[in-house]
Amino acid sequence: MNEVFDISNESKELKRNDQAYLLHPWGSLSENTNDEPMIIESANGVYVTDSDRNQYLDAIGGMWCMTLGYGNEDLALTMQEQAVRMPYYTPFGSMSNIPAVQLAKKLAALAPGDLNIVHYTNSGSTAVDSAIRFCHYYFNATGKESKKIILSRKDAYHGSTYLGASLSGKAWDRTCFQYMDTLVHHLSSPHSYRRPPHIAEENFCNYLLNEMEEAIQQLGADNIACFIAEPILASGGVIVPPNGYHQRAQELMKRHNILFVSDEVVTGFGRLGHFFSSNIHFGLDPDIIITAKGLTSGYAPLGAIILSEHLAREIKETHLKNPVFTNGYTYSGHPIACAVALKNIELMEKMALCEHVRSIGPYFIERLQELEKYPIVGDIRGHHLMACIEFRASNAYSPIPTLEDIAIAQAVDTHCQRLGLLVRPYESLCILSPPLIINEQQIDSMINILQNAIEETMKEMD
């Protein structure tokens, strides 16, 4: 009884302090918010426990990043050993450290084609920023200074630096900011479910490609540096572009000397069953790949851009005597983060984790599709362990989710939480990206809870 009393007091105090002192990412500054913080205190495998001792199956996977799951002692010990041996040294200029070198060699071996040059950052956002800076640097160095515009897409998410946020195309995130809209051109989202009603599904890819071609004509290929794209748009709603979209976009970009930057912050490191998905799933050979999140299984912050050798070679061959890429961070190639990334890759290979995802992923999607029988489920989409459920209040077409659609998703989320499942609510969606170590039984229990949560929500609507 005493212990219960203490826990609940301690938890209340933590929550009060959280509300008083902490502004969360996407945190509200409103006095009136009813959202009580959920403080996660401990975690193991695919489960997390909050400060009130409630346990949840974490179907969000932290934030798409907890690929090997929680409580992995090999990863934790690797970090400890590296911290004792050498926790930090500056990475600038010609200084380096052993895990950074070893990881770069490994990433070059895993990345497709001639993507063999690794440049570290602290996160996905700083990797996006660095990738775009590299594109501008490349075109400036090779005498094509006018190539500056970046093609991106509505519904995209590319991070939270000012440039990353400018590239992102999620409408709601764009209020009260002054984004770099002269530098960024947003194309339509390749979102089949919300495509314009006069476009048949089989014509949607042509529609998107025509728009892309027209945008290039209008802006002028000589003014466009790159196209940045998540192979599957993640936070914008697990949007899987139509078949053929990627290859045709790539052909178009190559024809116009526009660099293709593949943002694999989510789709890489096993989520789709491979270390990188650009080439294997989507037939792409990008000029730059961006990675982060699953690179360290979320155990330490780290991002990287992996650059094509041909870009580096062209820069080397220019008139610049000493081409220096003046970009980097105090924590670029942080030894603890690089050491844990190396161990993460070693364990993924030893456990055949990508193979596991390739076998369990289709089961997960199949089981999720059973939820299509409910009338409030509008769409289920995804690939392997990256999926979402889109809710709808009615069959009527709407280019964006309605308030009623959003209310349904929120109600389902609340019920899931009560029943011991954490899902990621976003507008009318419930996004799912469980740790890659998840097994069939855990998937079944996830589906059961989702089913119950949907049925409870429908009862409340009656």
CB 282, CB 231: distance < 8 Å: yes
In angstroms, what is the minimal distance from the CB of 31 to ligand PMP?
A: 28
CA angle 216, 220, 222 (to 5 degrees): 115
The Cα–Cα gap between 417 and 423 comes to 8
Query: Quick one: which segment of 1-9, 121-129, 270-278, 399-407 binds ligand PMP (CB under 6 A)?
Result: 121-129
Distance of CA 161 to the CA centre of its chain: 15
Selected from 124, 241, 242, 268, the binder of ligand PMP by CB under 6 A is 124
CB 239, CB 189: distance < 8 Å: yes
* Tokens 């993507």, residue located: 115
DSSP state of 191: -
CB 407, CB 421: distance < 8 Å: no
263 binds ligand PMP (CB under 6 A): yes
> What is the SS3 assignment for 157?
coil
379 binds ligand PMP (CB under 6 A): no
Selected from 67, 78, 125, 188, the binder of ligand PMP by CB under 6 A is 125
Strand partners, 187: 153
In angstroms, what is the minimal distance from the CB of 128 to ligand PMP?
A: 5
In angstroms, what is the minimal distance from the CB of 163 to ligand PMP?
A: 11
Residues 194-253 that bind ligand PMP (CB under 6 A): 230, 234-235
**Binding pattern for the stretch 155-194 against ligand PMP, x by CB under 6 A and - elsewhere:** --xxxx----------------------------------
Strand partners, 313: none
Query: Quick one: which segment of 37-45, 152-160, 254-262, 388-396 binds ligand PMP (CB under 6 A)?
Result: 152-160
Selected from 265, 408, 430, 454, the binder of ligand PMP by CB under 6 A is 265
Residue closer to ligand PMP (CB basis): 65 or 453: 65
Distance of CA 378 to the CA centre of its chain: 23
Selected from 128, 253, 315, 443, the binder of ligand PMP by CB under 6 A is 128
Q: Token digits for 416?
A: 């899931």
The Cα–Cα gap between 135 and 132 comes to 5
In angstroms, what is the minimal distance from the CB of 336 to ligand PMP?
A: 17
292 binds ligand PMP (CB under 6 A): yes
Residue closer to ligand PMP (CB basis): 158 or 194: 158
The Cα–Cα gap between 267 and 112 comes to 14
Q: Token digits for 323?
A: 């081409």
Interface residue list for ligand PMP (CB under 6 A): 123-125, 128, 157-160, 230, 234-235, 263, 265-266, 292
